Structure 1
Amino acid sequence: MFDTPAQAHQVIEERFAPDLVEMVTGQLRPAIVFSTKDADRKGGSRIGGTPDLPKEIEWPRRTIPANVDEIAGRAGEPYDGELKTHLAAGLPYAFFAQVDLGEAAGLGEAAKLLPNEGRLLFFYDMVAGPFDTGTESARVIWDRSPADALSHAAIPTDLASAAVAYRKMVEDANKQYGLQPEARLAGAPEPGTPYGGSARPMALKAALQLPSYSSIEFQASGRLEKTYSADQAVVGGAQAFSQAYSELSDDTEPQTQLLGAPQPVQDDPRYDAVVSSEFKTQFLSGDDWAKNRDMIMEKAKDWRLLLQVEVPDWMQENSEGTVYFLIREKDLEERAFDRVVAVYQQT
């Protein structure tokens, strides 16, 4: 990520031959990133903690799925039993992030796709979501209440109890195997659980990014994609171009961001959104994917990244994975945030 066009151009000019600079800079696109700040405020941007809600909006709770056994079965033994118990409990979603849309609007072009008032509140089922791509593992709420009507929501009792039980399980496992908790710097946030992360007030900042190699944007970049692929195909070569590009595009180190092009851990998560939405399934067989490849890739262009959250960043804990909140461009224009699809990926 780059803070300014000037910075982006300087870094790119330092890394690439003059005849390649224009090709690379031509792929720069806006995104919004998060930076920590000291002061929290009602309605402000935040990762983790609890949302700010008016009285008329309740903390969303996941409906118990009709196919609990099927979802649990995707986890395999012995985790399937725990997942079945979790789904049957109908717990509230974990709160991931709050985005102040007025703050975002002040960033100009980078936020042009978003509403310019209120807040977006992002919730996710971190326990079952990795096994249940689709609309039911997440909730995104657009709240337009004035800031003076908000209050810090209390964590629902059953969600708090689940977090306590999780910490007890980790503590017992550490004792059983003689492990010590990871050392933490003084003043570091309390580590979270799959049921919630520590509250961290955030400032939004406009940035520029280069699309990662696995993203739709990169695959459609023409000369850039051809140059990158040709460089990687040279056996025994230095692969200087592809390595430099991967470093600058955060290809190996995704981060939490709003809008822009997703930074895939695997393939572009928008393909998963299409499979889930169009085929009502989690995965396609190799034959079915090949048969429907052109349709999937075409429909994936209709989807936009709304928010990408790094799970270790959210939990402030040594964990894995990235959660992508994705929405069709038409649904974003219509502010139909109930149609957001959540995709989880990990290495």
Structure 2
Amino acid sequence: MNMFDTPAQAHQVIEERFAPDMVEMIASQLRPVVVFSVQDADRKGGSRIGGVPDLPKDTEWPRRPVPENTDEIAKRAGEPYDKELRAHLAGGLPYAFFAQVDLGEAAGLGEVASCLPSEGRLLFFYDMIAGPFDSGTQSAKVIWDRSPSDSLLQAAVPAELSDAAAAYRQMAEQTNKQYGLQPETRAPGAPQPGTSYGGPSRPMALKLALQLPVYSSLEFQASGRLEKTYSADRAVVGGSQKFSQAYGELSGEYYPGNQLLGAPVPVQDDPRYDAVVVSEYNTQFLSGEDWAKNRDKVIEKAKEWRLLLQVEVSDWMQDSAEGTVYFLIREKDLENRAFDRVVAVYQQT
């Protein structure tokens, strides 16, 4: 995904790709976002993707509660996977750990992170097995831990997760042998790839950047002249669609990545629509008829939500995988630090 370090850099790139009368229109839509930069050294309480969280002594790794609607969720996977998903949900396994964000480090970036607490850490957990079939609050757990960093210990991976990961790797190895497939070649020193139960530990530094909203985001739809120019370009039958294609490439429309705050980079529609549907209508999807009937209300309600964290699954696992997970929260819940109300949405092409 294209991100820019400075306004000057962004202007230069925009000027190289667009006519002079379009430059300010596009540049005016640049918005701050926090991105992750891989670091060599890890530190207690530091920002991290994958691995394990740093927790106070005797703090339990969170686990997913067994849902009351296990059968309903399992059926969404279809045969023959519904049986496996039903067993997974019934087991109440610990969540996979996705990321740890040092809030003090985020606060040091200035206004961009002013909506977050300025101390402690945000810990992001997700059920990568059932989550793709169950958008909502049950598939994710976000914890705001305010413990002093010197009281933290590196958590041990729960035995259930270790066992599940080992079984997954064994299954993958057997499948590769069955079909004569070779494991993906990895660079020397590259970490062992993860599984749906956890990704390799990678220390991160938080970095301020600028992003352009992608076409399917709420921010783009509210961009006025830019949205009209883009839509008009795409609507020309037989046209080159030069402007819309160039903007799509520049905004990183097809390359979602990892980011904290900012405008989400949807793989499909804006994930905040999904957050509204599961929260307001108590369903995973609206039918075409119901969407048409409730579209304006859903879009308006979506403005109450914001992206907290976005993680690309393949980057988290450091292996071939599909999809992006979005951790979303209402503005009022963020103000009240009600992180237990975070909704997780999974999208893939």
Where on the TM-score scale, by shorter chain, does this alignment land: which range?
A: over 0.9
The answer to whether structure 1 residue 211 and structure 2 residue 213 are counterparts is: yes
Task: Name the residue aligned to 2:52.
Answer: 50
Task: Name the residue aligned to 2:22.
Answer: 20
Deviation at 1:56, TM superposition (A): 4.8
Which secondary structure does the structure 1 equivalent of 2:45 belong to? coil
Deviation at 1:222, TM superposition (A): 1.1
68, 71, 77: which one pairs with 1:69? Answer: 71
- 2:127 aligned partner, one-letter code: D
> Which segment drifts farther, 306-315 or 244-253?
244-253
Aligned pairs for 1:90-239 (under 5 A) are 90-239=92-241
Deviation at 1:236, TM superposition (A): 2.6
Deviation at 1:273, TM superposition (A): 0.2
Query: CA RMSD, aligned part only?
Result: 0.8
Query: How far apart in 1 are the matches of 2:211 and 2:71?
Result: 41
The answer to whether structure 1 residue 32 and structure 2 residue 38 are counterparts is: no
**TM-score, scaled to structure 2:** 0.98
The answer to whether structure 1 residue 242 and structure 2 residue 244 are counterparts is: yes
- Count matched residues: 347
Deviation at 1:15, TM superposition (A): 1.3
Deviation at 1:237, TM superposition (A): 2.2
Query: How far apart in 2 are the matches of 1:184 and 1:146?
Result: 38
306, 321, 345: which one pairs with 1:343? Answer: 345
**TM-score, scaled to structure 1:** 0.99
Deviation at 1:253, TM superposition (A): 0.5
Deviation at 1:188, TM superposition (A): 1.0
Which secondary structure does the structure 2 equivalent of 1:169 belong to? helix
310, 313, 316: which one pairs with 2:315? Answer: 313
Unaligned runs of 5+ in 1: none
Query: How far apart in 1 are the matches of 2:113 and 2:17?
Result: 29
Query: How far apart in 2 are the matches of 1:239 and 1:323?
Result: 30
Which secondary structure does the structure 2 equivalent of 1:309 belong to? strand
Which secondary structure does the structure 2 equivalent of 1:288 belong to? helix
- 2:195 aligned partner, one-letter code: T
The answer to whether structure 1 residue 285 and structure 2 residue 287 are counterparts is: yes
Query: How far apart in 1 are the matches of 2:98 and 2:346?
Result: 14
Unaligned runs of 5+ in 2: none
Deviation at 1:9, TM superposition (A): 1.2
Task: Name the residue aligned to 1:82.
Answer: 84
Deviation at 1:235, TM superposition (A): 2.4
Query: How far apart in 1 are the matches of 2:97 and 2:344?
Result: 14
- 2:163 aligned partner, one-letter code: S
Deviation at 1:57, TM superposition (A): 2.8
- 2:324 aligned partner, one-letter code: T
- 1:134 aligned partner, one-letter code: G
Deviation string 1:287-322 (CA, Å, 9 cap, x unpaired) is 111111111010000000000000000000000000
